[in-house]
Structures are given as structure tokens and as C-alpha cells.
């Protein structure tokens, strides 16, 4: 088999099946593109979830800091010589 025979076999094959092969390749590219878009959407959702988690943690930390500041203010306002009474978990004063 020489080069001319192989060349014409390739030309005939492409003429007969080239369109369907191109369509199949285009279909694969389309599926790959859709998959990449889906992965990008998932990545965005993951980043949004991480941002919400960080925001919630910041909010909780801010509440804890505010609670500590209020307790410090409460101790600063007590009458000199009076025993300090720490707050319980629910915010009420505990008996000594």
C-alpha cells in the first residue's frame, strides 16, 4: 500500500464520516463546557458558604466581645469595697 492509496482512503473516509465525526467532537466539547460551568457554579457556592460561615463567626465573636465589655463596665461601676459578683451564663448575677 503506497501513500496515494492511503491518502484517498482518508479522503473518502472524511467525506463519508467527517460530518458525523465533527458533530461528535462538537458534542464532547459542549459536554465538557457544561461540566466546567457546573464546576464553576459549585465553586462559587462553596465560596459563598465559606463567606457566610466567616461572617457568622465574626458576628459571634463580636457578641462575645460586647458581652465581655459589658461585664467589664459592670465591674467598673461597682461601689468600692463591694464584693464583685460574676455574671452567670444567662446574664443574672450569682450569689456569693
Burial status of residue 74 (CB atoms within 10 A of its CB: 0-12, 13-18, 19 or more): middle
Residue, of 77 and 31, whose pLDDT is higher: 31
Say whether pTM exceeds 0.75. Answer: no
Burial status of residue 23 (CB atoms within 10 A of its CB: 0-12, 13-18, 19 or more): exposed
Q: What is the pLDDT of residues 53-80, one digit of tens each?
A: 999 999 999 999 999 999 888 877 766 6
Give, in order, the Cα–Cα distances in Å from 8 to each of 4, 13, 32, 33, 45.
Answer: 6, 8, 33, 35, 53
**Radius of gyration (C-alpha) of the chain in whole angstroms:** 36
Amino acid at each position: 500500500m503506497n501513500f496515494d492509496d492511503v491518502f484517498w482512503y482518508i479522503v473518502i473516509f472524511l467525506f463519508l464520516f467527517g460530518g458525523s465525526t465533527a458533530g461528535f467532537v462538537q458534542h464532547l466539547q459542549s459536554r465538557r463546557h457544561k461540566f466546567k460551568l457546573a464546576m464553576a457554579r459549585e465553586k462559587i457556592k462553596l465560596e459563598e458558604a465559606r463567606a457566610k460561615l466567616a461572617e457568622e463567626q465574626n458576628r459571634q465573636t463580636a457578641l462575645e466581645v460586647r458581652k465581655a465589655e459589658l461585664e467589664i463596665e459592670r465591674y467598673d461601676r461597682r461601689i468600692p469595697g463591694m464584693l464583685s459578683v460574676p455574671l452567670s451564663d444567662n446574664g443574672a448575677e450569682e450569689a456569693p
